[in-house]
Structure formats: structure tokens, C-alpha cells
Amino acid sequence: MRELLTGNEAVARGAYEYGITVAAAYPGTPSTEILENIAPYDEIYAEWSPNEKVALEVALGAAFAGARSLAAMKHVGLNVAADPMFTSAYTGVNGAFIIVTADDPGMHSSQDEQDNRYYAKFAKIPMLEPSDSQECKEFVGEAVSISEEFDTPVILRLTTRISHSKSLVELGTRENVSMRPYRRNAHKYVTTPGNARVLRVRLEERLKKLKEYSEKSPLNHIEWGDKMIGIITSGIAYQYAREVMGDSASYLKLGMTYPLPDELIKEFASQVEEVYVVEELEPYLEEHLKALGIKCHGKDLIPIVGELNPEIVARGFLGKEPETIKVSIKPAARPPLMCPGCPHRGVFFALSGKDAVITGDIGCYTLGSQEPLSAMDTTICMGASVSNGHGFQKAFEKNGINKKVFSVIGDSTFFHSGMTGLLDIAYNKGNSTLIILDNRITAMTGQQENPGTGYTLKGEPTFQADLAKICNAMGIERVREVNSLDLEQVEAAIDEAMNTTDPMVIIAKAPCALLKREKQPEGKSRIDVDICQQCGLCLQLGCPAIYRDENDNIIIDEYQCNGCTLCQQVCEFDAIETTM
């Protein structure tokens, strides 16, 4: 039977069919749907971990125990998980261990572009790159085999277009495998320097065997066509090259891109007139070919920045613009905005008028940096808001500058990597203020559970972490909990923070406006145009439901309004009423 699946769905299906029994992840686009589609399988224990490092360590522990396991994350998540990943290359595994990284060329939903193929080479871990959904499923099986045969973790690298595009997948049945027996082996699993030095040598011996495997593996194969042009490629770039060049070129399709098959590459290059490399992002393959002494074209023709597509490949290699259908419609500009009724809006509105530095974090609330709120100075990575804010405050303090510093972070991101920053503030006598935007869900990636929601990935009720108690336990005595949708409460807490020299945490609580299981505001807000003074203060909230009509009157779109009443609270002329 065949089904139309995305790459992420196919990886999940592969996890089921090839006997994975433990899977862990932290949600992050474009990888999120892998665990969401694994969770329904009763045969697999699946969890949202607090962050990617924990997810990798959970899956690695399961592999040590003898189970087949998988950890999934987006590309920047692998930065968080890199510490245990590098050492796992030394220890090896027991049961199979697969690390899925989903890169995001073009930064559709990321703070940077990075090419995680270099991680495989850096960590000396074999890497597979599927080019469609069928391969996504099958490569899970290949990764399982390689992992168990060579006693190594295996990286499965997807990109956004592979993760989210659909193609037909042949479904199979589950391979029920028993756990491999666990045997205590400190020389293998305890990486004291004495053991690690031995493991380091074994790692190089393993790589030699993996390189031999790569030379012969059907994952790397030649597709002969016209030999005037030879294209070396992998992943989604293979599909683009095929679509543009068809049979007018020959292809070396690389499914295993670390270690690379040098002899196969040389053989292919020797039989074609000119060699071209088609790859997204960095010149990973191109650099390797040039190190082998093979002349080739690559990034001299194809951009190093952004996501590829067939048009870009055609423009680069054929030097002509492909025929496309022109349309006269100009899409309306839609700057990213927080949703109508978003509980974060009031907090940023209250912060926007303050003489303070506001360090931000990764999540929906990053949109607080957008006009008209413009209430954010920095955004770097998960958890950085807290430590960045502490750094700002210490620099100001050391240089005699009296300026307040706020950090804003979501509940899930606080659990991910904000907690250690807060501990640093308490330990090192900081006095910045952290605002935890607690909307009861991981909203930015599509509403996944986290330790504060009270539910597991499989929907089971569980322990619910108490943010206030955690902050108290970490050494912060001044902790205030406020309703995000009550501006008076929010402003009072922020004013208190402006006037204290104590470290402080404000927990601004209200459910995500899209979260159906939580009680949401009711009613609709309406502006009385006869009372409205057209001051535009309500527009400063940046709510998509509030706009000026063709007569320049300020209007609230009742279909978008969810009755949060923030606009009513900011109106100084009582021109807005909210009806049930």
C-alpha cells in the first residue's frame, strides 16, 4: 500500500517500521512533525524533552540500553545537542541511534542558516541525506543498519523542502526486534581521559570501515545519461538538477554524504567532460572534490545563500531564465504580527514606553520587536534573552549607567534554556527583570506540550511545573504573577521592576489565543465612532483586528476580535465597549 506523506511523516513511519522503541525531540520547524507522527504509535515511547540536548541524551541512553532510538531537532537544535553528540561518536551505541537534523535553507522559520553536513564531518558521524519521502522512510532503515553494524550514531539530514513536501511512500510492516542485551562496559561508556584516548583511536578505525562501506553502498550511485555534463549532488538538490537537466546529463547521487566515497567520485568525474556540483547552502561537496584535485563548477554558478529551486539551478547552469507564468496580481504586504487576542501584546505595550533595554528570545513573542510595539532590542537564540539581559545590566552597572534591563522569554523556552540564565542572575548578584510570557503551550511551533502544560506528547496528564516556585528555588525572591490581559496588573508589576534594585521575575499568564482547551475571553469589542477622538492609541497595540477604514475611522473587525479587551483598556475616551 502506498500513501502520500511528507518527509517528516515518512521518517516517523520509518521509525515505526524499523523497530524504533524510544524517540525524543524538542519541537522546532521544520522538524516538529516527526515526533507528532511518531507519538500515535503505541510501540514507541515518545516524548517532548525540555531541550534538544536532553532529547539526544534520552535517545542515546535508550540506545546504550540496547533499544533502537531516535532524536529529532531543527538545525540550530543540533547546536544545543552538540555536546553529547560529539562524545557519542566516541562511545558508539548498542541498539541503533539516529539523530535527525532538519536544516532550514532560506530561514523560513529560523534565526540563521546553517549547513549541518559539516557537523557530520566535525563529529565523525556517518550522515545520510534522503531526496524524497520514500527515501526518508527507507533511510531510517539504512541508518538503523549502519548504526548497529558499525556501532555508531548516524545523522539523518533533512531540509525544509524534504520535511514538508509530499511524495508517495510504499508502506511496510513493523520489524519487531528485541532489545540487544546491555552489558556494563565502563571502558566503552565512561569517557574518562584514559578511556577516551582509546576510543579516539577506535573512532578513526571505524571511519575507515565506514568509508569502505560508502564506496560500495547503493546509497551512492551513478545514473548515466549524456556524459558531456556530470552532476554530483545530494538531497533535494538532486531533484532540482534532475528536473532541469533530465537525461542531458549524468548524475552521481550521494545518499551517504559522510564519509564520502572518494573512489566513486573520481571514477564518475573521469568519465564526464565537465563536473558540476549542485548543492544547497555551503560548498560542502565542492570543497571535497577540489581537495581530491577534481576541477568542477559549483558556487561560482549557484548562490551560497538561501534555498535552491529548479529556476535557480536552470539560471545558474544553463544561463537562461526558465519560462514561468506571469500574473498581474500584486500580493498584499502582510508584515508578521501577533494574533488578535495574543496575551503577549499587553506586556509589550506596557514595556514599549519605558526607558529600558529589552532583550528578547525565540518564539511568537519575537514579534514584539515589530512596529508599532517595537519593544525588543535583541534576539539571538533559545534562552539568550536572560543571559543577554544580565550582560547588559552588568555592563551598565560597571560603567555607571543607570538603565533598567528587562528580558522576555516564553514558558517553553524558559524550560528549554532560560533557567540557567536566571540562576546566573541570582548567583552573580544581577538585578535585571525577567518576564516569563506563560501562555500555557509551546505556541511558536504549533502548540506542543512542555513541562508547564500538565500533559505529555501522548496527551497523558502529568506533573505540571510551577514557574513561581522554580524561580523562588533559583534564588529570586521578588516574583510576581499577573494576568497578561489585565493591563493594570501588568503595568503595576513593570513599574515595580523599574523602581527596584532587586532581581525580579514577572510571570505574565494567559493562555495562547488559539489554545482551545483553556478558557478564552468572550465577547466582541466595538468602537463608538461618535466618541472616538481618533487618537490612534489603540492602533499602537498592533492588533490585526483594529484598522482605519476608507473614511479614516478606526474600526474593530468583529470577525478577528476575540474580546481580549486590551483596546478597551488603553482607550482614554471610553470609546470602546466589549459586549458578550
pLDDT for 332: 74
E strands, 200-320, in order: 220-223, 229-234, 250-254, 256-258, 274-278
Going from the C-alpha of 197 to that of each of 120, 183, 187, 205, the distances in angstroms are 20, 21, 10, 13
Sequence-distant (≥ 6) Cβ neighbours of residue 436 within 8 angstroms = 409, 410, 411, 414, 418, 467, 471, 505, 506, 507, 508
Whether residue 179 sits in one domain with residue 97: yes
Which residues 6+ apart lie within 8 Å of 209 measured at CB?
150
Q: Residues in the chain with pLDDT < 50? A: none
Q: CA-based angle 475:480:486, to the nearest 5?
A: 160
Does some domain include residue 330? no
pLDDT, tens digit, 9 for 90 and up, residues 31-67: 999 999 999 999 999 999 999 999 999 999 999 999 9
Domain assignment of residue 274, yes or no: yes
| Same domain, residue pair 493 and 539 | no
Listed in order, strand segments (DSSP E) in 125-228 are 127-128, 154-159, 166-170, 220-223
Residues 368 and 245 in one domain: no
pLDDT tens across 366-386, in order?
999 999 999 999 999 999 999
Q: Is residue 325 part of a domain?
A: no
Per-residue confidence (pLDDT) for residue 323, from 0 to 100? 75
The pLDDT of residue 571 is 96
The answer to the question of residue 79 being in a domain is: yes
Residue 462's Cβ-side half-sphere holds a number of Cα atoms within 13 Å equal to: 14
pLDDT at position 319: 86
Q: Looking at the domain assignment, is residue 537 inside a domain?
A: yes
What pLDDT, on the 0 to 100 scale, is given for residue 484?
Answer: 96
101 found inside a domain: yes
Q: Would 555 be classed as within a structural domain?
A: yes
- CA-based torsion, 33, 19, 44, 58: positive or negative: negative
Together in a domain, 184 and 259: no
Confidence at residue 337, expressed as pLDDT on a 0 to 100 scale: 84
Please tell me what DSSP assigns to residue 333: P
Rounded CA separation 339/544 (Å): 7
Q: What is the mean pLDDT of the chain?
A: 95
- Number of folded domains that form the chain: 4
Of the residues 509, 536, 554, the one at which a domain ends: 509
pLDDT score for 64: 97
Tell me, what's the pLDDT at 26? 97
Both 359 and 469 in one domain: the answer is yes
CB 556 within 8 A of CB 549: no
pLDDT digits 0-9 by tens, 176-188: 899 999 999 999 9
3 state DSSP class of 399: coil
Residues of the binding site: 532, 535, 538, 543, 561, 564, 567, 571
Annotated binding site for [4Fe-4S] cluster: 532, 535, 538, 543, 561, 564, 567, 571
CATH number of the domain where residue 554 is located: 3.30.70.20
State which H helix or E strand residue 336 sits in. Answer: none
Cβ proximity of 78 and 116 under 8 Å: yes
Residue for cell digits 547552469? Answer: 317
Residue 328 lies inside a defined structural domain of this protein: no
Residue listed under C-alpha cell 558540476:
276
What is the C-alpha to C-alpha distance for residues 82 and 1, in angstroms, rounded to an integer? 38
Measured distance CA(38)–CA(311) in Å, rounded: 35
> What CATH code is carried by the domain that includes residue 294?
3.40.50.920
91 Cβ neighbours under 8 A, 6+ residues apart: 64, 188, 189, 191, 199
Q: Which residue has the cell 540562576?
A: 423
Which of 215, 240, 263 terminates a domain? The answer is 215
What pLDDT does residue 327 have? 84
Half-sphere exposure (CA, 13 Å, Cβ side) for 504?
19
The b-or-e profile of 549-563 (16+ CB within 10 A means b, else e) is eeeeebbbeeeebbb
Q: Among the three residues 215, 247, 276, which one is the final residue of a domain in this structure?
A: 215
Whether residues 245 and 361 fall in one domain? no
Residues 237 and 208 in one domain: no
What is the grid cell recorded at 565?
A: 479587551
- Tell me, what's the pLDDT at 82? 97
> Which range marks the domain in which residue 544 is found?
524-579
